[in-house]
Chains A and B, each alone.
Chain A
């Protein structure tokens, strides 16, 4: 059974060369969306571009302030605008995981830089484009990838959990504030997935108990499609 096309939908995904991000890139391209993805390593970006020449790969690190506008410029240059931003790139903080009392401040900063400040900066840089999408009646959406560690205080997950909690709450507040602009911001917990990030955190996990990133990606694409579909063609001229 073929799923409805997402042709014309312009999507940017950070952390797009592994795990959930890569699964999202594949699934969105399969649905004919126009996709740009971001990752830190040029080799990974080139590898993903070879696999999927229909995607635009961008080298950049969302935790670096100086990378944000170059990323935004390339996203908008490649897609000509933006309807959906998926802030997926994440940092665990200290690897191996450490209790907060043993967490170096720099590792905490890295987790917040990648998981909170980076998504905040990139979303802000792309907010004008998302607002333009809303004025065109296209129902823009920002998906921030969160975690159950944002809500539950798991020992050892302090830097990650605290930063994802901040991202989760930032999403909720920003969603309230941007309602009048027609921009939706959601925070999603995709569940415990079999990803490189998870194996860094829990190297001896029973992988058979973990969700496949492709399954999680399918659920998120479903949400994106439902949001886009519920507004399709609803070009309203409103104040």
Chain B
């Protein structure tokens, strides 16, 4: 696969690799995603907007430049912006791949950081020289102003140009609590949402503070995903219940939606509404109680996103999908092509099987 190096959310030639519950792979135009959705299905996306979570500044004890990438928070509450978990880098910018970014200066509890107009104090170093817990000084409004005006979205070395904040907001972006864009949601625009409704499907959202996808450091990446707060609206919980009762499918747009819904249902199989913190790490042994299919990006083996995919598809199907994606030069990363993966254990409803059959004839050859 090749990295998608231009920050266009919905390129006209975006593609969708579909892996059905039996592990069969087909190739589609991503714009035809609504055709995969049937009457009675519920499509759920993460409506978190992306925070400008990259903050550059100075580590006061050493006067060394530092970049903090906010990566975790205690709750989803908008006013709870004082305390964050952050990953620290030394000097340099996004043009250096994170794997090669220098370590930050040695950080100790109590150290002060001046990040543009924001001032923060290190509470703890969390078992790794890059991973720290900080408290911002000042009023809640002042912290929001500092983040909004000084922060940049977390950048990616594979992109030719720096990302602007608007590149990272999905069409449905609402509360700014995601540390990186919930990029599977780039598949959606208002026309797609209208098309889903026109097919008799329902659209709903959750809000999930998506954490950072990788740090470039294998020891830190092994800790991902960190605990992530989320909120499930009452209306979404009710729609999930209604969809399950009528045997419709629940289609998650993005790994964050899977994590939130399965975390919420881990106790007794029911999705309750309200705020919570996802601690569940979805992997090959995680039983999927809620989600019947997932739309996500093209993920490389070894990443936490790929591990989550293994809950949906067995290794044989994933291997087949990876070979197809490689052979047909699918693009990876945030602005790349997408994958639609069915839960191998979900009952595959007749109506949906029919929808897929009629769909497979339509898009023509994409992989030329």
**Could you mark each residue 42-59 of chain B with 1 if its beta carbon is under 8 Å from any beta carbon of chain A, else 0?**
000001010110000000
B147: contacting residue among A58, A73, A80, A81, CB under 8 A: A73
Quick one: which of A102-129 are within 8 Å of B by CB? 125, 127-129
Contact B52 A135 (CB under 8 A): no
A239: contacting residue among B170, B190, B197, CB under 8 A: B197
- Cβ of A12 under 8 Å from chain B: no
Contact B148 A137 (CB under 8 A): no
Interface of B is mostly: mixed
Quick one: which of B129-157 are within 8 Å of A by CB? 140-141, 144-145, 147-149
- Cβ of B366 under 8 Å from chain A: no
- Cβ of A132 under 8 Å from chain B: yes
Contact B204 A81 (CB under 8 A): no
| Cβ-closest chain B residue relative to A237 | B238
- Cβ of A203 under 8 Å from chain B: no
Query: Please, how many angstroms separate the alpha-carbon atoms of A132 and B193 in the complex?
Result: 13
Counting chain A residues whose Cβ lies within 8 A of the other chain, the interface size class is 20 to 34
**Which of the 9-residue segments B26-34, B76-84, B342-350 touches chain A?**
B76-84
Which residues of chain A are within 8 angstroms of B202 by Cβ–Cβ distance?
239
Which residues of chain A are within 8 angstroms of B173 by Cβ–Cβ distance?
128-129
Query: Please, how many angstroms separate the alpha-carbon atoms of A223 and B255 in the complex?
Result: 41
Which residues of chain A are within 8 angstroms of B169 by Cβ–Cβ distance?
69, 125, 128
Which residues of chain B are within 8 angstroms of A71 by Cβ–Cβ distance?
148
Contact B176 A137 (CB under 8 A): no
Query: Please, how many angstroms separate the alpha-carbon atoms of A181 and B197 in the complex?
Result: 10
Which residues of chain A are within 8 angstroms of B144 by Cβ–Cβ distance?
73-74, 77-78
- Across chains A and B, the number of contacting residue pairs, with CB separation under 8 Å, is 99
Contact A136 B147 (CB under 8 A): no
Contact A81 B166 (CB under 8 A): no
Chain B CB count within 10 A is highest, among A59, A71, A135, A137, for: A135
Contact A132 B205 (CB under 8 A): yes
**Could you mark each residue 36-72 of chain A with 1 if its beta carbon is under 8 Å from any beta carbon of chain B, else 0?**
0000000000000000000011110000000011111
| Cβ-closest chain A residue relative to B173 | A128
Contact B148 A77 (CB under 8 A): yes
B145: contacting residue among A74, A80, A129, A239, CB under 8 A: A74
Query: Please, how many angstroms separate the alpha-carbon atoms of A128 and B52 in the complex?
Result: 17
Nearest chain A CB to B83 CB, angstrom units: 15
Contact B148 A74 (CB under 8 A): yes
**Could you mark each residue 90-114 of chain B with 1 if its beta carbon is under 8 Å from any beta carbon of chain A, else 0?**
0000000000000000000000000
- Cβ of A131 under 8 Å from chain B: yes
By a beta-carbon cutoff of 8 Å, the part of chain A in contact with chain B is 56-59, 68-74, 76-81, 125, 127-129, 131-132, 135-137, 177, 180-181, 235, 237, 239
24 A-B pairs with C-beta separation under 8 A: A57-B141, A71-B148, A72-B49, A73-B49, A73-B52, A73-B147, A73-B176, A74-B141, A76-B175, A76-B176, A77-B147, A80-B175, A81-B174, A128-B174, A131-B47, A132-B47, A132-B205, A137-B235, A180-B194, A181-B190, A235-B234, A235-B235, A239-B197, A239-B200
By a beta-carbon cutoff of 8 Å, the part of chain B in contact with chain A is 47, 49, 51-52, 77-79, 81, 140-141, 144-145, 147-149, 165-166, 169-176, 190, 193-194, 197, 200-202, 204-205, 207, 233-236, 238-239, 242
Given A73-B148, A135-B233, A137-B235, output 18 extra A-B contacts at Cβ < 8 Å: A58-B145, A59-B145, A69-B169, A72-B176, A73-B49, A73-B51, A73-B144, A73-B147, A74-B148, A76-B174, A77-B148, A77-B176, A78-B144, A80-B175, A81-B175, A132-B207, A132-B233, A136-B233
